[in-house]
Homo-oligomer: A and B are copies of this chain.
Amino acid sequence: MDDGQIPSSSQSPWLPFESRRRARDEKREAVLRTAVALFLEQGYHGATLNEVARRLNITKPALYNYFRGKDEILYECWSIGNELVDDCIAETSVSTGSGLSKLRKLIVRYAELMTEDYGKSLVRFDLRDLSEDNRKIVQTAKRRIDRAFRDYIAQGVEDGSVKPCDAKLAAFAIAGSLNWIGHWFQPGGEMTGRAVAEEFAIRLTEGIATTATRKTAQKAAVPAAEKADKPPRNGNAPREDESEHHTRAAARAAGQSKRARGRLR
């Protein structure tokens, strides 16, 4: 079935027996990358710290140099995902355009996140496995995400780009579809994450949008704004907006001083 000799998978900073002198934070992140993948693969309870360590060519106790325990690793995985979502929200909220326009942008970004490991961790991990404190943080953040969807919808209703509807339920419906992506999507399938995201942005808004979605027929019903809403559905353009996907996440990658960092001796 399985025996030793990991094929030096992905890229572990601990090459079997050579120079293991990388920066601390790089190792920390490597642990998280491995952990989130394993947690998704086997489930939090099915995955063992021994296996996480094994995949990194180290042993379990070494992990405790970087984390207080298993549940903290889980929390940190979730936390990274949350920072990515925050970036999505921040990006979309500063963008100009109607409520519908912002909603669509958020859907695309969020959907694509759900096709990646850290995004999935937001919806596949069980809050009850976290410590009391961390659980509260997560719950608060979840409400923030929900609020973003709801706000854009309400905003759209006001500016006329979205049909009048119950913002709360509409947000649940949309977020549900998107979150579910994290359960079924796996890379290597017929569609790329980006493609799924764009398709969902259309599908999930065409029910509540006042304007026609597909291409023509911008029937002149929108009172204000609605500028660069959507370049009319280019098949596979080289994503024009790779500018800076990481606002807060980039900060974390560089600075990274806050947040517990392993056993405090």
Task: Assess whether A177 is in contact with B184, with CB atoms less than 8 Å apart.
Answer: no
Per-residue contact bits, chain A 38-62, to B (CB 8 Å; 1 contact, 0 not): 0000110110000000000000000
> Which one of B42, B129, B204, B205 contacts A128 once the chains associate, using CB atoms below 8 Å?
B42
Partner-binding segment picked from A2-10, A66-74, A166-174, A224-232? A166-174
Besides A46-B129, A174-B177, 15 new A-B residue pairs in contact (Cβ under 8 A), listed by A number? A43-B126, A46-B128, A166-B199, A172-B180, A173-B200, A173-B203, A173-B204, A175-B180, A176-B177, A176-B179, A177-B177, A179-B180, A180-B180, A203-B207, A204-B207
The answer to whether A181 has its CB under 8 Å from any CB of chain B is yes
Interfacial chain B residues near A196, Cβ < 8 Å: 169
Identify which of A128, A166, A170, A176 gathers the most chain B CB atoms within 10 Å of its CB: A176
Please measure, in the bound complex, the distance between the C-alpha atom of A208 and the C-alpha atom of B214, giving whole angstroms.
12
Per-residue contact bits, chain A 14-48, to B (CB 8 Å; 1 contact, 0 not): 00000000000000000000000000001101100
A residues near B, CB below 8 A?
A: 42-43, 45-46, 126, 128-129, 165-166, 169-170, 172-181, 183-184, 196, 199-200, 203-208
Interfacial chain B residues near A46, Cβ < 8 Å: 128-129
Interfacial chain B residues near A178, Cβ < 8 Å: 176
Interfacial chain B residues near A175, Cβ < 8 Å: 180
A51 to chain B, nearest CB (A): 14
A146 to chain B, nearest CB (A): 9
A189 to chain B, nearest CB (A): 11
For residue A172, which residue of chain B has the nearest CB? B184
For residue A124, which residue of chain B has the nearest CB? B126
Please measure, in the bound complex, the distance between the C-alpha atom of A172 and the C-alpha atom of B203, giving whole angstroms.
11
Please measure, in the bound complex, the distance between the C-alpha atom of A207 and the C-alpha atom of B42, giving whole angstroms.
36
A190 to chain B, nearest CB (A): 9
> Which one of B43, B169, B180, B199 contacts A203 once the chains associate, using CB atoms below 8 Å?
B169
Please measure, in the bound complex, the distance between the C-alpha atom of A42 and the C-alpha atom of B180, giving whole angstroms.
21
Please measure, in the bound complex, the distance between the C-alpha atom of A203 and the C-alpha atom of B164, giving whole angstroms.
12
Please measure, in the bound complex, the distance between the C-alpha atom of A179 and the C-alpha atom of B207, giving whole angstroms.
19
